[in-house]
Structure formats: C-alpha cells, structure tokens
A and B are shown apart, each in its own frame.
Chain A
Amino acid sequence: MTASRDSEDIIQKYIQGCVRNERDSQKALYKHFYSFAMGICLRYANDRLDAAGILNDGFFKAFKNISKYEPSKAFLPWLGRIITNTAIDYYRANLKFADHVDIQDHENIAHTNSVYDKLAYHDLLALVQNLSPAYRTVFNLFAIDGYAHEEIAEMLGISIGTSKSNLFKARQKLQEMLKATEAKTYQVRSSEVDRNLLQVRLNTNMQ
C-alpha cells in the first residue's frame, strides 16, 4: 500500500484541481492511481470488465467527494478504501456467505491455468478471480489488504466466525487450484516453476 509516495506535491495539486472539478486534474489523478486502483478492483472482481466498472464507480465517488478528503492525510489509503468499499458493494448482492465448501468450479480452474512460466501476476489473479465473491472478498480483505476479522465482519455485515470460515475455505480452494496447476505443470514444465509450487505446498518460505 505504499505505491508512489514520491510525487506527493503533484498529487496535492491534482487534488485541488479535482476539487474545482477540472477535467485535466481529474484525468491526471486517475492516471496516476490507475494501476493501484485497478489492482484492487481486479482482485475483487470476477473479470476485467467488472473490475473496470468498479474502478470507475470508485473514482466517480472519489471525485464527487474529493472535497471531503483531508489533505493532511495520505491520499492513497483514502482512495484505496473507497475503491475497496465500492468493490464490496458491487458484489454485495452476490455475497452469500456460507460455511460449506463450494468446489464445483474446480476442474475449470485447472484448465484456465494451463499456460504459464511461473506464477505471475495474471495467474494469481486468475486464481483469485475464480473464487466465489464471498470467499474472494474475505480473502482479499484479510490476506492482501490486511484487515482483521473484526473489521471484515463489520464491513460485510457478517459474524467474525463466518469471516474466519470463509477465509479458511478460500485458502483451501486456492490450494486446490494451485495443486491442479501444479499437476499440469509437472506434465509440461520443468524444475523451477515446480519447485516454487512445491515450496508453497510444503510451506517453506518463498522468495
């Protein structure tokens, strides 16, 4: 969450422009935080199309409420929060939290990950996107965005137990998908990638 702290002054200038509803400033700010925000959206979305929709919903909210942003605080977390909340809202209707494991998509997952050299961004993203919205949201919030179960429970309107349970199921499912990937990789690929995968599986430290 520490992307692009450097040009803080420029960003503040953009923000002031956005307060005045200036198109150029809005575009500059959008462009500046595009990668960061889109990264969040993609993790929470089913696919890129949804992600782009969430992204623009989020930025739209941000621009409309830009006057509420306090310049003394960092802009990035503020924006990130808006984007994350927008993403959660986007799938709120689909967030059917349950305690059972849903593995119906298992085989599809294996196929979608057939071609890669290593577990690059897009592969990991594909795995996350294949989770159901409920699992994915909790996993994103906990594992990547660093929220505690208490916060997640509050944000999603679920119990802490459900949050923990969903996180567990999400991990389980990701693990299965990784295994499937691994199996494929054994057939096609040689040592290096497999070693990485095995490391994951064997709980040794990566990188």
Chain B
Amino acid sequence: MTEGKDIDKLFKDGLENPDLPFNDLDWDNLEERLHPIPKRRVVPLIWLTAVAGIAAMLLVVFLLVRPNGDQPKNNPLVKTDTNAHKNENNKPLGNKGDLIDKPMANNTSPENSEESSLVGNNENSKATNDRKAAKTSPFNKDFPKVLEAGYINQKLLASVLSNPQISAKPKFVEFEQPDYVATLASRKTERIQPPVFKKKSRFVLSILAAPDLTSVQKSGKSSLSGGFGVEATLFLTKKLSVTTGAAYAKKIYDSDFSQYNPNSNYVFKINPANIHANCDVIDIPINVNYKVFDGRRNSISVSTGLSSYLMLKEKYSYSYDGAYQGPQSYEVRNQNQHYLGIANVGVEFQHKINNNLSISAKPFMKIPLTDIGYGNSKLSSTGVAVSVNMNLFGRKN
C-alpha cells in the first residue's frame, strides 16, 4: 500500500491548494441565479392581476358601503326637501323672476342670514334643514298629496334621486348635499390625522393612469371617467412620504337639475330634467402617505390629502322631460379653480420589480369639500390608479 500512498501524496500535494484565477463569468452566472431578473419580470403579471382583483373588490366595497351608509340620512332629508320644494313651487316659483336663486331664499326665509352660505356651510345647513322640516309640517296637512309624495320619496326614492318627481325641484339637492358633505368631511378629517405611506428610496417619480367612476353625490348615477398624470413622491422617513403632481382628468357625469346650482341669474323657463356634464380638469394633489405593510417586494400604504381642481373646460348639456326644448348646453372655460377643495383617500398596493422600478395599484376616493365647477355640484370620484414608479436617485438599501 505504500505505493498507493505515494500516489495519493503526489496528487494531494499537487491538487490541494490550487491558485485559480477568479472568473467573472462564473460569478455572473451565479448572480443571475441568486438574483434572477427575467423571472421577476414574469411575476408582476400575476401580481398585477392579483392586485387588480383586490382593487376591484375594494372598489365594489366602496361603492356598496357608501349608499347603505347614506340611506338613513337621506330619508328624513328627502321628505323635508320635497315638502319644501312643493312650497317653493306653489309660492315663489311663479312670482319670482330668478327662479334658481330665489327658491332658496324663500325656503330659508326665516334664516336669512344663513341662506347665502347654505351650500358651503355644512353645520348650518343641517340645522336649517331640521328647522325647515318642522316648519314645513303644517303644509303637509294642507297638501296631502305632497305628504304622499314625501312618503314615496322616503321609501323609494331616497337612494335613487333621479326620480322625475325630484327633478322638478331645484332646491331638493341643495339641502341634501350640505348635509352629506358634513358627514363626509368629518369622516375625512379622521382619516387625515394619521399621516400616511410609501416606497423605499428617497425620491420617486410615478406615471399613473386612473380610471374612475364619477358621480354627483346623492345622484346615485356614476359615469366612467379617467385621467392620467405624473406624481413625485418624496420620502421623509422610511414609512412616511409626501406626494404631489398633476393629473389631467376627464370628469363625466350626469346629474339631476336639482343638483345643478350655477352661480348665474339665468332662469330656465322649464327646468331641464337632466344635466350631462363633461369637464376637463387638472387635478393637483398633495398627499401624505404612510406605509403600513412593507414586505420585501410588496408594500401597502395608506394615503390621504387634498387636491386642487383647475377646471379647464366645463360643458353642460341639458335634456328635458317633455317636448319643450330649452337651451341645449352651456360651456365654461378656465373659470373655476378649487384650491384644496377635494379630499383624497386611498390605499396603495405596490409591487417592487427591482430596486428602481415598481408598479402599484391604488383604489382611491376623491371627496369634494366644496362645490365643484360652474354647476356647483358635489362631484366625487372613486377609482383605481395604476402607476409605474421609478426611483430617481440610485439604489439605497
């Protein structure tokens, strides 16, 4: 066996500690396996569908929950309003020249000091409504039919405000809206308190597309709109970030005439039954984002903030119930700017593709704090923003 041992020693000494030059190609191969890039390009598709699914579900939840929550509030209001409108129709409507403005004045005559700020002043308007309800009750006795109408509204129409009966009454929505806004506003502020969310690196540029459903609050009717834009996100801490940007959006919606309250003295001889609006808007959001979940590749952030709407173009088309044809449309350009007049609430699901690139889907709601546009409608949007996000300054782990 000594012969064997010598052979062993020859090979052991010769082979044991070779000095082999490092080969970068070998490392490249291994690196590809350890940090596979192409593989991850496939994954996002699956993730995207998953995220889109989640987003769609959230959207449905948003839409379903909202009307349910509103209904109890609507019922008394609807009743009150209908009655009030009857009053208006019976009394001032025929007499007064400026129909649109005056019914309000008549209606709220006991609270004259409040009337002008009725729409914007939520608390007051609610109080006003209550008083009005009380005040209008005597009328119910005088007008049993009105009462009946009130019931109908209460039961059947509360959630579907496009009912023709309602459409004849300009005041109708004005009361409803303020109240609705009041509740929304309080909801919103609660959500704003916790500062909120986002990505890993310091400065992120996002390009986004955001299809949404736009509706005038309470109308129950939604139309598909959409927008696209650019956003920049600055990270203050690992979890907290601030986003701003600009998005061009189309807001298309239908509304009852009752919810259309332009700042004009123009009086329709016969009120249009329905208004179709098509607005071009620049939406400038300022949002605070807070990352609530941060996995290695995926993160979830909540986001809230305020948007400013710059109305580029607003076009309102009127349609009438009967044979009567009044003015067909009205167009306004660059007249209305609503600075910080819209609240944003959203949840962002983000998937990291690599250190510098990520995609995200963000179900969001835009809740009006003021009346929007020439029509002074409470225009809200619910949708999903899909965006591609790029880190602008290097990778930082």
Contact = CB atoms under 8 A, between A and B. Distances in A.
B33 to A, nearest CB: 6
B15 A144 contact: yes
B8 A171 contact: yes
Contacts of B19: 35
A174 B31 contact: no
Contact of A39 (B2, B16, B27): B16
A60 B31 CA distance: 9
A139 B18 CA distance: 18
B12 interface: yes
Contacts of A39: 15-18, 20
Contacts of B6: 200, 203-206
Most buried by A among B27, B31, B397: B27
B33 A30 contact: no
Contacts of B33: 56, 60
Given A27-B27, A39-B15, A34 B9 contact: no
Nearest to A175: B7
A23 B283 CA distance: 41
Given A30-B27, A35-B22, A38-B20, A128 B35 contact: no
B8 A124 contact: no
Nearest to B26: A52
A75 interface: no
A174 B7 contact: yes
Nearest to B32: A56
Contacts of A21: 34
B158 to A, nearest CB: 57
A207 interface: yes
B12 A30 contact: no
Contacts of B23: 34, 52
Contacts, number: 99
B15 A56 contact: no
Contact of A31 (B16, B17, B22): B22
B190 interface: no
A43 B15 contact: yes
B7 A200 contact: yes
A143 interface: yes
Contact of B15 (A31, A55, A60, A125): A125
Given A31-B27, A60-B33, A121 B11 contact: no
A144 B12 contact: yes
A124 B15 contact: yes
A164 B26 CA distance: 35
Q: Is the interface of B mostly helix, strand, loop or mixed?
A: helix
A16 to B, nearest CB: 14
Interface string B207-225: 0000000000000000000
A143 B17 contact: no
Interface in B1-59: 2-4, 6-23, 26-27, 29-31, 33-35
A125 B19 CA distance: 13
A125 B16 CA distance: 10
A148 interface: no
Contacts of B4: 167-168, 171
Contact of B34 (A26, A144, A204): A26
A135 interface: no
B32 to A, nearest CB: 10
B11 A55 contact: no
A97 interface: no
A200 B22 contact: no
Interface string A119-132: 11100110110000
Interface in A14-39: 21-23, 26-27, 30-31, 34-36, 38-39
Interface string A188-207: 00000000000010011111
Interface in A115-160: 119-121, 124-125, 127-128, 139, 142-144
Contact of A124 (B2, B11, B20, B21): B11
Contacts of B15: 39, 43, 121, 124-125, 128, 144
Given A121-B14, A124-B14, A203-B2, A30 B30 contact: yes
A7 B18 CA distance: 19
Choose among A55, A59, A143 the residue with the greatest number of B CB atoms under 10 Å from its CB. Answer: A143
B30 A56 contact: yes
A168 B34 CA distance: 40
B26 A55 contact: yes
B13 A207 contact: yes
Interface string A38-59: 1100110000000010011001
24 contacts: A21-B34, A22-B397, A31-B22, A35-B18, A35-B19, A36-B17, A39-B16, A42-B18, A52-B26, A52-B29, A55-B26, A56-B26, A56-B30, A59-B30, A60-B30, A63-B34, A119-B14, A124-B15, A125-B15, A144-B12, A144-B16, A200-B6, A203-B2, A206-B9
10 nearest A-B pairs in the assembled complex, by CB-CB distance: A143-B8, A124-B14, A39-B18, A35-B20, A56-B30, A171-B4, A144-B12, A38-B20, A34-B22, A171-B7
Interface of B: 2-4, 6-23, 26-27, 29-31, 33-35, 397
Given A22-B397, A144-B16, 20 more contacts: A1-B16, A21-B34, A26-B34, A35-B18, A35-B21, A38-B20, A39-B17, A39-B18, A52-B29, A55-B26, A60-B33, A60-B34, A124-B15, A125-B15, A127-B11, A144-B12, A168-B4, A171-B8, A178-B7, A206-B9
